[in-house]
């Protein structure tokens, strides 16, 4: 057993206080790492959710709002786009494809999107990945519905199940589209994006179930008979759509098109580029993130101060221990070294446990974030710069240890052979 062995035994002797200190530091480090991890993972999750869409067009609104309700199902649209505008935009030479979507219905709290089949063909997520079917296929009959992976799992649905949509978004809906039950014909493969949290019907179906509705209420007896609707399926189309995802033939055309959309004469439109709008969103959330970071950093400082308190408090009771070591030949720097070593060990253990804690919380929180926000939070190792920060915190821990070490150094020199009382 060398000097470090002695330090270890001494630590074990005070294991309760030491363990508490390690816990304090682990909690503070855990918070720091978790804030940073979730921040980058949530951002990553947002970026993953929309890929390959060059322009999102909606009724005139704030860009961030349009992005949030069209892609992430957060909030509601205030203005629609007329069907004519949609057909005109779709016909533009620079537009490669267009996915119109009509919002307004829900099922057990999950959003129902009226979409064109172009969605399954052109929508991308993550690293330009296509949407794939876990089982079944696109809608064939007018009253067919395709559901996201999470919807199928949470509600335990299978192909062929009949479901009824509710009017309006949210969990509580007073009125339903009871006359028009839908049959599940397809279940999408998981994407880790809001796609998993949604149900998809055709635009014609969206129109059909809203016949006879005015100002959010259905006129009694005005609903169209499902079989009649089926015969008219070809002509059924909504008067308006909520938003349009556009893919362009050449990405360079996006700025010109965005300007033209924003200056569109027939109606007031907003055109946004998802990546740039996400940046705007980060600018809004950035302030809160900074506050969280500062709080986490202060908690780390509190943790280190806690360690200092414990080290200083034990210094008094360890004075005898140090005098014994000294009388038996220990050099003053060896005594100080013991304290710095101890501080380093506590800090290192705290950091290690803290990172483990953050990763565990992340692992536990991931399913909740996925089901609640459709955000896929991966279990990634903290980035290199974060380890740089942790390294600095370790050095700060050592520096904290220098304070009691310096006191012990001076004291051992002054104490003589035995403690002077």
Residue pair 374/193 in contact by the 8 Å Cβ criterion: yes
Residue with tokens 């380890």: 387
Sole binder of another protein in the list 78, 87, 249, 418 (CB under 8 A): 418
d(CA 14, CA 194) in angstroms, rounded, equals 51
Q: Cβ closer to another protein: 259 or 320? A: 320
Fill in the per-residue mask, 325 to 364: x = in contact with another protein (CB under 8 A), - = not in contact.
xxxxxxxx-x------------------------------
Give min distance, CB of 300 to another protein, in A: 30
SS3 287: helix
Give min distance, CB of 21 to another protein, in A: 18
Helix (H) or strand (E) holding 70: helix 63-71
Q: Cβ closer to another protein: 338 or 377? A: 338
250 binds another protein (CB under 8 A): no
Fill in the per-residue mask, 102 to 141: x = in contact with another protein (CB under 8 A), - = not in contact.
----------------------------------------
415 binds another protein (CB under 8 A): yes
Residue pair 414/323 in contact by the 8 Å Cβ criterion: no
Q: Using DSSP bridges, classify how beta strands 95-107 and 166-167 pair: parallel, antiparallel or unpaired.
A: antiparallel
361, 362, 363, 366 alpha-carbon torsion, rounded to 10°: 120
Give min distance, CB of 335 to another protein, in A: 11
Residue pair 100/86 in contact by the 8 Å Cβ criterion: yes
Give min distance, CB of 13 to another protein, in A: 3
Give min distance, CB of 344 to another protein, in A: 20
Distances from the Cα of 246 to the Cαs of 34, 118, 258, 321, in angstroms? 36, 11, 11, 75
Residue pair 167/104 in contact by the 8 Å Cβ criterion: yes
Sign for the pseudo-dihedral over CA of 273, 279, 285, 287 = negative
Residue pair 49/125 in contact by the 8 Å Cβ criterion: yes
The stretch among 7-15, 94-102, 300-308, 399-407 that binds another protein (CB under 8 A) is 7-15
Give min distance, CB of 321 to another protein, in A: 6
Q: Cβ closer to another protein: 62 or 413? A: 413
Give min distance, CB of 322 to another protein, in A: 10
SS3 59: strand
Give min distance, CB of 333 to another protein, in A: 9
Q: Cβ closer to another protein: 241 or 339? A: 339
Strand partners, 110: 107
Q: Cβ closer to another protein: 4 or 379? A: 4
Residue 79 class from Cβ within 10 Å (0-12 exposed, 13-18 middle, 19+ buried)? Answer: middle
Total of chain residues touching another protein, rule CB under 8 A:
27
Query: Token pair of 135, please?
Result: 């089982």
Provide the H-helix boundaries in 318-378.
319-327, 332-373
19 binds another protein (CB under 8 A): no
405 binds another protein (CB under 8 A): no
Q: Cβ closer to another protein: 113 or 310? A: 310
17 binds another protein (CB under 8 A): no
320 binds another protein (CB under 8 A): yes
Q: Cβ closer to another protein: 3 or 163? A: 3
170 binds another protein (CB under 8 A): no
Give min distance, CB of 3 to another protein, in A: 7
Radius of gyration of the chain (CA): 31
Give min distance, CB of 26 to another protein, in A: 24
SS3 145: strand
Q: Could you list the residues that contact another protein (CB under 8 A)?
A: 1-3, 6, 9-10, 12-13, 320-321, 324-332, 334, 413-418, 420
């Amino acid at each position: 057993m060398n000097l470090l062995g002695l330090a270890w035994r001494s630590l074990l002797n005070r294991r309760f206080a030491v363990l508490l200190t390690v816990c304090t530091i682990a909690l503070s480090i855990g918070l720091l790492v978790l804030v940073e991890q979730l921040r980058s993972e949530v951002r990553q999750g947002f970026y993953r959710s929309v890929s390959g869409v060059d322009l999102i067009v909606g009724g005139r609104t704030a860009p961030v709002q349009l992005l949030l309700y069209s892609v992430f199902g957060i909030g509601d649209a205030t203005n629609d786009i007329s069907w004519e505008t949609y057909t005109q935009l779709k016909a533009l030479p620079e537009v490669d494809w267009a996915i119109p979507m009509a919002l307004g219905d829900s099922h057990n709290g999950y959003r129902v999107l009226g979409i064109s089949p172009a969605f399954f063909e052109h929508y991308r997520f993550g690293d330009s990945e296509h949407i794939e079917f876990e089982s079944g296929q696109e809608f064939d009959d007018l009253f067919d519905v395709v559901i996201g992976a999470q919807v199928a799992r949470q509600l335990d649905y299978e192909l062929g199940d009949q479901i009824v949509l509710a009017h309006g978004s949210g969990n509580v809906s007073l009125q339903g589209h009871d006359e028009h039950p839908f049959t599940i014909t397809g279940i999408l493969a998981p994407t880790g994006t809001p796609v998993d949290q949604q149900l998809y019907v055709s635009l014609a179906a969206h129109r059909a179930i809203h016949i006879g509705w005015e100002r959010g209420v259905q006129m009694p007896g005005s609903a169209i008979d499902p079989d009649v609707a089926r015969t008219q399926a070809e002509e059924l189309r909504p008067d308006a759509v909520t938003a349009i995802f556009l893919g362009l033939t050449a990405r360079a055309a996006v700025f010109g098109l965005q300007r033209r959309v924003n200056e569109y004469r027939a109606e007031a439109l907003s055109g946004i580029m998802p990546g740039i709008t996400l940046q705007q969103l980060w600018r809004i959330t950035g302030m809160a993130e900074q506050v969280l970071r500062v709080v986490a950093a202060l908690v780390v400082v509190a943790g280190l101060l806690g360690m200092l308190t414990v080290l200083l408090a034990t210094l008094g009771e360890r004075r005898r221990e140090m005098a014994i070591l000294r009388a038996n030949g220990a050099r003053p720097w060896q005594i100080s070294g013991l304290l710095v070593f101890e501080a380093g060990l506590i800090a290192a253990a705290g950091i290690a446990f803290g990172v483990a804690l953050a990763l565990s919380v992340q692992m536990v929180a991931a399913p909740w974030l996925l089901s609640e926000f459709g955000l896929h939070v991966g279990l990634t190792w903290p980035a290199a710069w974060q380890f740089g920060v942790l390294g600095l915190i370790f050095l700060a821990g050592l520096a904290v240890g220098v304070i009691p070490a310096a006191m012990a150094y001076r004291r051992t020199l002054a104490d003589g052979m035995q403690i002077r009382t």
